[in-house]
Structure 1
Amino acid sequence: MTTTAPAGPLTFDDVRRDPGRFRVLTGDRPTGRLHLGHYFGTVHNRVRLQDIGVELMVLIADYQVLTDRDVAERPAEHAEEIVLDYLAAGVDPTQATIFAHSAVPALNQLLLPFLSLVSVAELGRNPTVKDEIAHSRQSSVSGLMFTYPAHQAADILFCKANLVPVGQDQLPHLELTRTVARRFNSRYAEIFPEPEALLSAAPLLLGVDGAKMSKSRGNAIALAATADETAALIRGAKTDALRHITYDPAGRPEVSNLVLLAALCLDRDPYEVAGEIGGRGAAALKAVVTEAVNERLAPLRERRALHARDRDHVRRVLREGNERAAAIADTTLTEVRAAMNMVY
């Protein structure tokens, strides 16, 4: 798994041709329950990858919560809720490893040698870091925020993941990980793969207020929401003054977002969904969206409720995932120390 990979992003069809050669690293920050944006953006695709035979490593990035916050609020509680969301969505802990940053010390120790392989300028010009700094809620930016790309490289390389699902805007992050792997291999020993990008075609879902869907904004439909809570959120969703429903993301973002949400839940084309609603207006659109979302989430909610009745199982999933990830990280760190002649 240490061969150099081509730099071009792959597609799901590319991966499906030989799923057994891939190990995927992906994850979420535990800042609250997952929502529909997470589901259609990443979680659903993780299950698809798992189901075709790709090895899946799912990180609950609790340390990364601290990159733009003074403290991590209720991390253990949020981590447990995210595990519930994963299980409900179909992530199988017998096929996937679900683990937390803070439970894998050897992973985080890789940050130190990795930082020696990148310059301050390379960290500073990373566009994702620039954007996070610009939108940070803190009065000043922590060192953890600044070193985030190198920490992400440790997340990916500790388990020698060779495939990382990313959006187009995240490619620079992955390129820095590839740079770290390449420089370590050249300077010390051939240990790490240069991971490939699995470019996500997932559409961006807005919140019900027309802004970016976010747990902290209260504009997201949580996977754990009840049918009635979902209906209330959709009833209050922002639309526009035009009665005829069309799918025009640039010209009518709020209406188009609702159309897209229905289309995703129904596995249909958004233009067809909009065409069927036509002149029946926003009320009809919201009724279609509510029915589609609740129907799509019904089996997920049922599975979530079932798992929620056995919290010991949920905690055991995370504990066993932590143990598997820690064993992998320990092995990798031993290799790194040997390559750097630091075994005493």
Structure 2
Amino acid sequence: MDSFTVTAARMPELERRITEHPDAFRVLTGDRPTGALHLGHYFGSVRERVRLQQRGVDTFLILADYQVITDRDIADNVAESVREAIADYLAAGLDPDRTTIFVHSAVPALNQLLVPFLSLVTEAELHRNPTVKAEQLASGRALSGLLLTYPVHQAADILFCKANLVPVGKDNLPHVEQTRVIARRFNSRYAPLFPEPEALLTDAPEVPGLDGRKMSKSYGNAIALSMSDDETAAVIRRTRTDSERRITYDPQGRPGVSGLLSVAALCLDETPEEVADRIADAGSGQLKRLATDAVNAFLGPHRARRRDIVAEPDLLDEVLRRGNARANEIAEGTLAEVREAMGMGYANAVRAR
């Protein structure tokens, strides 16, 4: 059986363990702050993070600002993207008292773990990683050292806080497997410091963009969580559909119509086929009106909370300051343990003076 089938078979037992002993787990999850969070992020990951937090799982959420430049030359607007993401996290229900929100660039000890971890993997293993292959193909550029080592950097993200649970979709399973390999090899070569984290497969729906492709800001087909009602209406109104009056769900033949049906269905908690049947012969104009109303009604409470959060002076900076402080404390402790295990404890002694 393939790794996905094996992992999926373990999910009922893993969910039972999380329910019975949430305090036995620590989650690491995160985003690259490359732009505004959108509905795809909300349904794909943010909602699951809130669920785990509410169940009592210690949650670490990294905004991987260093990884913004894995597939681009500069980190455009990264500071704004970080702040906007934190606002959406808080509005969605993430509590900084229970979820540690931090950024890569503020935790030097985490990034320093990359050096010993790189000695535990081969170049061939890195080249085989599906994300590395996909990102290189999408960028159309030469493979950078940062992109090649992206899976090891993610392992450092997970292991610095000794997370033992990582929520992922099917496409990201190889990253967890690579992290497990690195943890296993370090423990065998030096000392048993790290857990081998388990993948928590989420049943989050895949949210298509308004044109049927993957929802992405770069495609111009995304509905940002921070949009106003009027901005949402405008982006939906611009969606290309077709002249056929009867509304049907056909992702291959009618991507624009089907993208709108999918987005509306998620917000209405219905199936795309049910939404299509409701509209019937009323045409794409009615579909766009229904989709606009569904999205704005669904996001209304989130946007109201978000406005209050953004209006509060210094709140976002304080959340990040606290999260960075906790992440640094833990990362420095882990790095000290790694040095000791590798016979480099003298570095800890010198630093302590």
TM-score surpassing 0.5?
A: yes
| Residue in 2 that maps onto 1:8 | 7
Report the counterpart of residue 268 of structure 1 in structure 2. 270
Q: Which residue does the alignment assign to 2:218?
A: 216
Question: In the aligned structure 2, how far is the partner of 1:238 from the partner of 1:50?
Answer: 39
The 5 Å alignment of 1:324-343 reads 324-343=326-345
How far the C-alpha of 1:268 sits from its partner, in A, is 2.3
Q: Does the 8 Å contact 2:208/2:263 carry over to 1? A: no
Q: CA deviation at 1:270?
A: 2.8
Deviations 1:30-52 (A, max 9, x none): 11111111111111111111111
- Contact in 2 for aligned 1:208/1:236 (Cα 8 Å): no
User: What secondary structure does 1:56 align onto?
Assistant: strand
The answer to whether 1:188 aligns with 2:190 is yes
1:167 to partner: Cα distance: 1.3
Deviations 1:88-116 (Å, cap 9, x if unpaired)? 11111111000000001111010001000
Q: Which residue of 2 aligns with 1:118?
A: 121
Which residue of structure 2 lines up, in the alignment, with residue 82 of structure 1? 85
Aligned to 1:131: 134
Deviation per residue, 1:200-240 (Å, 9 max, x gap): 22222222233332123332111110001101111111223
Cα RMSD (Å) of the superposition? 1.7
Number of matched residues? 337
Q: 1:135 to 1:298 in 2, by over 3 A?
A: same
Task: Kindly indicate whether the alpha-carbon contact (under 8 Å) linking 1:33 and 1:85 is maintained by their aligned counterparts in 2.
Answer: no
1:92 partnered with 2:95: yes
Shift of 1:296: 0.8
**Distance (whole Å) between structure 2 residues aligned to residue 196 and residue 64 of structure 1:** 23
Q: 1:259 aligns with which of 261, 277, 280?
A: 261
- Structure with higher helix content: 2
Matches within 5 A, 1:1-344: 8-9=7-8, 10=11, 13-14=15-16, 15-136=18-139, 139-344=141-346
Cα distance, 1:76 vs structure 2: 1.8
TM-aligned CA distance change 1:152 to 1:259, over 3 Å: same
2:26–2:60 contact (8 Å) kept in structure 1: yes
Deviation sequence 1:112-170 (CA, Å, 0-9, x none) = 01000000110111111011111115x43321111001000000111111111111111
For 1:110, give the aligned amino acid. Answer: L
Give the deviation of 1:13 after TM superposition: 4.2
Conserved 8 A contact 2:59-2:98: yes
5+ long unaligned stretches in structure 1 = 1-6
Give the ranges of 4+ consecutive aligned residues of structure 1 lying more than 6 Å apart after TM superposition. Answer: none
Larger mean CA deviation between 265-274 and 90-99 belongs to 265-274
1:239/1:148 CA distance change after superposition, 3 Å:
same
Letter in 2 for 1:33: A
TM-score normalised by the chain length of structure 2: 0.91
Q: Are the counterparts in 1 of residues 208 and 262 from structure 2 also a CA contact under 8 Å? A: no
What is the CA–CA distance in structure 2 between the aligned matches of 1:222 and 1:334, rounded to whole Å? 41
User: Which letter maps to 1:75?
Assistant: V
Q: More deviation in 255-264 or 89-98? A: 255-264
Q: Return 5+ residue gaps in structure 2 as ranges.
A: 1-5, 347-353
